Copies of this chain bind each other. A is one copy, B any other.
Amino acid sequence: MLADPIQTLRDHGIQPSAQRVEVARYVLDTDEHPSADRVWEVVRERQPTISRATIYNTLNLFVEHGLLRTLLLSEGHVVFDPKTNRHHHFVDEATGRIVDVPWDALDVGRIDELPFEVADYQVVLRGRLS
Q: Which residues of A pack against B, CB within 8 Å?
A: 70, 72-75, 78, 90, 92-93, 99, 101, 105-111, 113-130
Contacts and interface: CB of A to CB of B under 8 A. Distances in A.
B117 A127 contact: yes
A119 B113 CA distance: 27
Given A75-B78, A127-B119, A107 B107 contact: yes
Contact of A125 (B92, B109, B111, B129): B111
B105 A107 contact: no
A110 B117 CA distance: 25
Contact of A108 (B99, B108, B119): B108
Nearest to A126: B120
B123 A123 contact: yes
Contact of A116 (B72, B78, B116, B127): B127
